[in-house]
Structures are given as C-alpha cells and as structure tokens.
Amino acid sequence: MKRKNSKNKLLIIISLFMITSILPGCWDRVEIEELGIVVGMAIDLTEPEKSALRKNLETREKERPKHHRITLTQQFIIPRALIQGGGQNQGGGGQKPYSNIESEGDTILAVARQYASQSSRVTHYRHLKVIVLSEEVARLFNIKNLLNVFLRDPEIERDVKIMISEGKAFKALDVAPKKEQIPAFKLNQLVDNMRRSARIAPEVTIADMSKRLVAKSSFIVQRVIPHKDEVKLAGAAVISGKTRKMIGWLGEEEVDGINWLTGQTRGGVVEAVDEKTDEYIVYDIQSVTSKIIPEVKDGKISFTIEINSEGAIGEDWLIPGNAFKNEFLIRAKQAIKREVRNIVDDALNKTQKQFKVDVIGCGKQLSIKYPQVWQQVKDNWDEYFSKIPVNVQIKINIRTFGRRGTKR
C-alpha cells in the first residue's frame, strides 16, 4: 500500500513537470522592448535610378517576372523618444519619436521582411493605423493585388485606414506634426476629426475597399496632400470598379457634391449667393439624407435622387437680412438650393460624364429594385451608367436662424 502511494506521488510530480513545460505558452512570447511597432505604411514606386542601382546587385534578375519595384516605408514608434518628448515639451533638439524605414523590392511582404535583416527588433503590425498609397502606385497596379497582403495577414486589423497621396506617399508619413507626435497617428486623427466637414470623402478601411473591389463597384478614397510641414486631407481619388485602378482626382467641391448625393454629409456649410443682392448667405448643415430611386420604363433605366437637408442660417451679408420674415427665408432657401445644385451637378458631371463611373451607389439600388435588369447591365455597369439620366431633387429646410434674426 505504502509503495503504491509513493509511486503515485512520483507520477504526480512527473506529470506536473510535463504540464508546466507546456502551459506557459512561451512559443509566441515576445518581450515588449523587442518589438518594432509599425503604425503607418506608405507604398511608392521606386525611383528608376535607385532601382537600376539595385538591379546590378541581383543575380537572378532574368528569371524573375518583369515587375515595377516598390518602395515601402514603414513608420516605427520609438517609445523612449516619445516619453522624453512628452516630458520636456520645448526640448526641440531631442530625437524624433518615430523613424521611417524605407526598403524596396518587388512584393510588399518581401520588402517588409527585409527590415528583419536590418533590425534587431521584431516587427509588430497589430497597431498599424494607416496605409498611404502614392498616386503612381494606385494608377499602375490593380489595387486588389496591393491590398492582398494586408487582408491575408491576421496580424493586421481589417479596419486599417487607407488613403491615396498626391505625389510621393512617404512624404505623408514624414511631416512632423506639432501636437500629435507621430505622423501616422496624426493622419488617423485627421480622418476622425474631419468627419464633420462636408468636403472630406468618407473614410475607407482596407475591409471597405476589399468589399467594393470584389463587388466591382467604383468608389472614392480620401486624398492626402503632404505640404512642407503640414499634411492635409482634401479631395479624393476615384477608383474604377472595372480596372481596379485609380483613374483620377476629385477636388474638394466635387467630393462635397458626392457627399450630398450619397447623404454622407455630416456637417459643414454652404456659401449660397442671394440672387438679388449678390451677397452671401451661409447655410449651416445639420443633416443630409439622400435616397436613390431607380426606375425602369420600357427597358430604359433612369434615376431620381432625392436629397433632403435640414439646417440653419449661420451668417448672412444682406442688409437688413431679416430672418423674422418668411420671404427672406424663402429667398435664402432658393439661393442655397441653387448652390447645392451647382455643387451636385459638378460632381455628377465629373464622375458620370468625364470619368464614366458610378461612385454614388446607383448600381446597388438598381440591383435591389430591379434585380433582373441588373443582371443584364452589371458587367458593364459604369459604361451604361454614363448614359443614364439622373434627376436630382433637392429639398432644403431651414429650421432655425440662431440667436439673432435681423441686423436691424
């Protein structure tokens, strides 16, 4: 009996050892100070001279497919500099809290992994916030291929924001912001803050992009403009659902118009001009909704877009501009309507007639209401859409005019 007991004890001890060796899960352990945390990425085409220099080093060049070389810029956080910078705000001379590492190659993953040979740190993508594509890259490559690696990697979130830069993309990650210390965070913040503005295209995540690309629908992506020491979000890039490449830019006003058409305007103002006096009346937008109504008559497709907006008179340059009188409000309403119509028409013209794409989702509504018709036109939808009449109806409701109704 006693022997059996001690045998059992021995068994327990052995199994305890075995269990403790597997339970801690050390395989995937990485010490936090060994992490190289990537928060932003920019993808550019490699400059020809540079890539020629590179090519001489490569031995197997002939066997590889012809491919444009990509320069990938990864933005790493330097936590120590971040802490120091926070402590002595006006230091100035201190180290930047981030570093941008550039590497180049044919495929994104291979380029990203190159970094491993340059650094002792383990790259960590769980905090990746933004990806900036340069205009060149977006025009040249099928965006599906560019996105592929980000959608595959389980380390990268599906809601990483994506934008397209005017000029070189790495510059957008190299503008040292004043308040937020890290450019990628600054971009991320800009998107969040700018939701209020009527002139900013809605944010696009890699997941959104993927959904639109597989659905073959055209869409717009925020444009980022790097200046000397400022970075700005303005306008948008138009991506064709057919070629899956960027085909052109929309200016701020055109994006404004697209936002009205899709009902995605969350705020902002309209500078309307009163016809009689040629003076400004400024409309403060509170809400915009839109409804796209497809119609098929005798095999002919047409769309009616009903835009409904509510808001307030925020400013006017008329004398006396008496908002207590209804005539004034009616005049204002007409002026605002006229202005909105101009904005909307411009946007529609540019996208529908010039670029020949449907970025406002008319196709989606057609597919819902007339699925049979949609089956026939869906393969060449953008082409069809460019010839379809779109009738826009605008309704403006001025709900209030603030604390003071007249200047008299």
Partner 1 sequence: MITKPKDKISTIQATLAISATIIGVGILTLPRTAGKAVGTPDIWLAVLLGGLIVLVFGYIVAKLSQRFPDKTFFEYSLDITGKSIGYLINIFIVVYFTLLAAYEARILAELIRTYLLSRTPIEVIITIFISVGVYLVVGGINPLVRIFEFFFPIVVFLFLFTMFIGLSIFELENLRPVLGQGIMPVLKGVQATALSYLGFEIMLIFTSFMEKPKDAVKATFIGISLTIVCYLITVVVAIGGLTVKEAQSLTWPTAAVAAEGEIPGAFLERFEVFFTIMWTLAIFTTYAIAHYISGLGLGQIFKRNINPFIYGLVPVIYIIAMAPQNLNTVFQLGDILSYMAILTSGIIPTTLLLIAMIRGIGNEKKKF
CB nearer to partner 1: give 126 or 387.
Answer: 126
Number of Cβ within 10 Å of residue 175's Cβ equals 17
Q: Tokens at residue 338, please?
A: 């006229």
Q: Is 291 in the site for partner 1 (CB under 8 A)?
A: no
Minimum distance of partner 1 from residue 372's CB (angstroms): 8
Contact yes or no for 165/172 (Cβ under 8 A) = yes
Q: Is 399 in the site for partner 1 (CB under 8 A)?
A: no
Q: Is 371 in the site for partner 1 (CB under 8 A)?
A: yes
CB nearer to partner 1: give 209 or 236.
Answer: 209
Contact yes or no for 283/311 (Cβ under 8 A) = yes
Q: Is 87 in the site for partner 1 (CB under 8 A)?
A: no
Number of Cβ within 10 Å of residue 193's Cβ equals 11
Which residues are CB-contacts of 66 (< 8 A; sequence separation ≥ 6)?
none
Angle between the 143-152 and 206-214 helix axes, to the nearest 10 degrees? 130
Contact yes or no for 105/117 (Cβ under 8 A) = no
DSSP letters spanning 260-274: HHHT---S-EEEEE-
Which positions from 307 through 366 interact with partner 1, judged by CB under 8 A?
364
Minimum distance of partner 1 from residue 23's CB (angstroms): 8
x-or-dash string of contact with partner 1, 127-156, rule CB under 8 A: ---------------------------xx-
Query: What's the rounded Cα separation, in Å, for the pair 335 and 394?
Result: 12
Contact segment (CB under 8 A) with partner 1 among 46-54, 203-211, 344-352, 386-394 equals 203-211
What burial class does residue 396 get, using C-beta atoms within 10 Å of its C-beta: 0-12 exposed, 13-18 middle, 19+ buried? buried
Q: Is 232 in the site for partner 1 (CB under 8 A)?
A: no
Single residue of 12, 16, 214, 330 touching partner 1 by CB under 8 A = 214
With tokens 């010490």, the residue in question is: 31
3-state secondary structure (DSSP) of residue 172: helix
Q: Is 210 in the site for partner 1 (CB under 8 A)?
A: yes
Q: Is 126 in the site for partner 1 (CB under 8 A)?
A: yes
Secondary structure tally for the chain: helices H, strands E: 13, 13
Q: Is 28 in the site for partner 1 (CB under 8 A)?
A: yes
Minimum distance of partner 1 from residue 214's CB (angstroms): 4
CB nearer to partner 1: give 38 or 172.
Answer: 38
Minimum distance of partner 1 from residue 74's CB (angstroms): 19
Minimum distance of partner 1 from residue 157's CB (angstroms): 7
Q: Is 123 in the site for partner 1 (CB under 8 A)?
A: no
Number of Cβ within 10 Å of residue 107's Cβ equals 15
CB nearer to partner 1: give 22 or 32.
Answer: 22
Query: What's the rounded Cα separation, in Å, for the pair 224 and 234?
Result: 6
Q: Is 369 in the site for partner 1 (CB under 8 A)?
A: yes
CB nearer to partner 1: give 160 or 398.
Answer: 160
Number of residues that bind partner 1 (CB under 8 A): 24
Angle between the 108-118 and 143-152 helix axes, to the nearest 10 degrees? 50
Determine the distance from the C-alpha atom of residue 251 to the mean position of all C-alpha atoms in its chain, rounded to a whole number.
Answer: 15
Q: What are phi and psi of 125, to 5 degrees?
A: -105, 5
Q: Is 22 in the site for partner 1 (CB under 8 A)?
A: yes
Minimum distance of partner 1 from residue 117's CB (angstroms): 19
Q: Is 27 in the site for partner 1 (CB under 8 A)?
A: yes
Minimum distance of partner 1 from residue 361's CB (angstroms): 8
Q: Is 92 in the site for partner 1 (CB under 8 A)?
A: no
Q: What is each CA distance from 140 to 136, 144, 218, 222, 251, in whole angstroms?
A: 6, 12, 16, 18, 21
Single residue of 9, 67, 211, 291 touching partner 1 by CB under 8 A = 211
Which residues are CB-contacts of 67 (< 8 A; sequence separation ≥ 6)?
106
Q: Is 159 in the site for partner 1 (CB under 8 A)?
A: yes
Minimum distance of partner 1 from residue 267's CB (angstroms): 17
Residues that bind partner 1 (CB under 8 A): 22, 25, 27-28, 126, 154-155, 157-159, 205, 207, 210-211, 214-215, 364, 367-369, 371-372, 374-375
